[in-house]
Chains A and B, each alone.
Chain A
Amino acid sequence: MKCGSIFLAVVLLLSVCAVVDAQKKYSIGLVFDVGGRGDKSFNDAAYRGLEWASQRLEVDVSYAEPGPGGADRENLLRRMARSGKDLVIGVGFLFTQPVVAAARDFPDVKFACVDMDVGSAGELPPNVVALTFREHEGSFIVGAIAGMKTQTNKVGFVGGMTGPLIEKFEAGYTAGVKYANPECTVLRVYAGDSPVAFADPARGYELAVQLNSQGCDIIYHAAGNTGNGVFRAAIERGFYVIGVDSNQNYLGYDSAAGKNWSLTSMLKRVDVAVYLVIEDLVNNRLEGGVREYGLKDFVKIGNETYRALDFAIDDYNRANLDEETVKKANEIIEKIVKGEIKVPKSMKEL
């Protein structure tokens, strides 16, 4: 019985290998972070990138999500590598250690980690690509929009956990506000100094109310789930919010009043990053190391151009963003791409 099942397993394994060989197609595996598809954020964006790749680059894609707590992230990466994937992608900085550990044992498989925490990763194995974003550039754009749109000449920033990661948002945003409107003050607060600071909407609400009562009429949050509290405060008190990472414009919708309090969202397009890394693989250009996506990186799908960093315009916020502002924001993007504006990465560089 036992021998039989082992035999069966071996036969199946071989047949899987044979199929992969016969197709000669690149095969991509992607591991979501806890929560998986349907988070309207990173995981959904990663999935979209995967879909673009499967349609346009003709690669085989498959995906999986870890269980609650995510203790099995590394196991999923390893199993995908063992099953013959050419590239295995982990979505989110929590994959930093698992990707490095798995990559060491599967030197022939490429690994990528979206939003990798490069600082804590140690030396990267040569088959690891760290996909990071120049968030300060995106934050600069939404900062400039805030600077143009503020009525009170006072705008706010709610950060999640203190540290270099969120500081990039803070610095870029502040510089953007000042660029567009030198008179404007930026009030900046953080929700805490641990990851819980990313998951505390009550605290986000509190901080937003505080900033608003001090006169901020626009608040940008870079605080994950904590930011949901900022949106709640905005709907209650009537001020504008700038969402972060994915398109959060819908969160500012006050269905009772029919008014939307989302000014825009700073988009960190995981879909673009995922697509571009797969494209690099297919074109044999994929190199290990840190890959930083900025305003200059984009994907063209049909008539749409998707930049790796962008600000969101949709039906929710179209009424809040006049064409003049959008035009100016796009001009600023061009300037940054051309290198005419240097965007600070930290408060020190500001």
Chain B
Amino acid sequence: MPELDREEAKRAAAPIVSLAIAFIIGGIIVALIGKNPLDAYISIFRGAFEDWGFTLFWATSLIFSALAVAIAFHCGLFNIGANGQLMMGALAATYFSLRFSGVPGAILMPTVVFAALCAGAFWGFIPGVLKAKRGTNEVVVTIMMNYIAISAVSYALTYPMKDPGSWIAQSAPLPESLLFPRIGNTLGTDPMVFVAILMAVLSYIFLWRSRMGYELRAVGFNQLASAHSGIRVNRIITLTMCLSGAIAALSYFNYLFAYQYRAISDVLVGTNVGFDAITAALLANNNPVMVLLSSLLLAILYSGGLTAQFELGVPSSFYLFLEGIIIFSMVVFSVILGGKND
């Protein structure tokens, strides 16, 4: 028992140590380009704090995708497709909003959410079922599905769903009955923040307090043993990927209904949230509640990084650099600790 406790402690310490390493190496790099590292970090945190709406907004998207990645991780699946799943979710949400724009918001919103969940789930189902039935590597399939999603989104917003009045590839404005009001121009005042927090708590309960959550983790721990104890492994793998895709599908809702009020092809296709989410999940040790913190932290680094760019001339790639070191350190830690999660 003490042995196990110590391993748990090490696992819990890994993110903090990784962050420390990232900050220190990041600081050295900043010093090498001739800026004061302390100023850089102060500028980052102050910038993120001043524009807290944007920071929270960014975190909200990340939370959904990171939860998707984390849940798949518990089943031993590496879902790199959160980006594609969120795109398909956004596309479905846009389509249904515009198609049934006359329906009152109270009925339309649940329909739109359901459509997005289905689209995301379907985008997760394909790699899931291929993995379950054929043993196809889900990493490869989800990466490919990302590209298909990009093509699908840019096609849809360029041709059938394009706003005829615009010469940018974007949808028509979404119906007003669905929009979350922006208070002034502050982002992050939309209810998706609370939905994201709720989703994290639900994910936690699901994983550790539900039967399927238990089976999911069992499959992630040892497929053979799970099969022997009567768990339908293939079914769990497929369902996990569906669930993962469905959660990821909500990542873009705040963009659609609280920020841009329409789907803009370039922005949607250019989104990177599904990949940043992998870092967030990793940093949280795939714990859904910790995902809230790790997403917020990454959002702070990203958002504040924008300010540090023009205040101090810290290049935009600094954020990616920190992210890279965080991933690298976390992977090294998981190797040292024996890699329980894959």
Tell me the A residues contacting B by CB distance below 8 Å: 5, 9, 12-13, 29, 34, 36, 62-72, 75-76, 78-80, 82-83, 94, 101, 105, 120, 161, 163, 165, 194-196
Contact = CB atoms under 8 A, between A and B. Distances in A.
Contacts of B49: 5, 9
A194 B271 CA distance: 19
Given A69-B270, A71-B259, A195-B169, A29 B310 contact: yes
A48 B228 CA distance: 68
Contacts of A195: 158, 167-169, 265-266
Nearest to A162: B167
Interface stretch (B7-15, B171-179, B301-309, B324-332): B301-309
Contacts of A63: 309-310
Interface in B78-111: none
B229 interface: no
Contact of A80 (B166, B270, B310): B310
Given A12-B46, A36-B316, A76 B270 contact: no
Given A64-B309, A194-B162, A12 B42 contact: yes
Contacts, number: 93
Interface string B112-139: 0000000000000000000000000000
A82 B255 contact: no
Contacts of A36: 316
Contacts of B255: 71
Contacts of B311: 62, 83
Contact of A67 (B47, B260, B272): B272
B169 A79 contact: no
A69 B267 contact: yes
B73 interface: no
Given A79-B50, A105-B185, A69 B269 contact: yes
B154 A196 contact: yes
B54 A75 contact: yes
Contacts of B242: none
A4 to B, nearest CB: 12
A83 B310 contact: yes
* Most chain B CB inside 10 Å of its own CB: which residue of A12, A62, A69: A69
B75 to A, nearest CB: 29
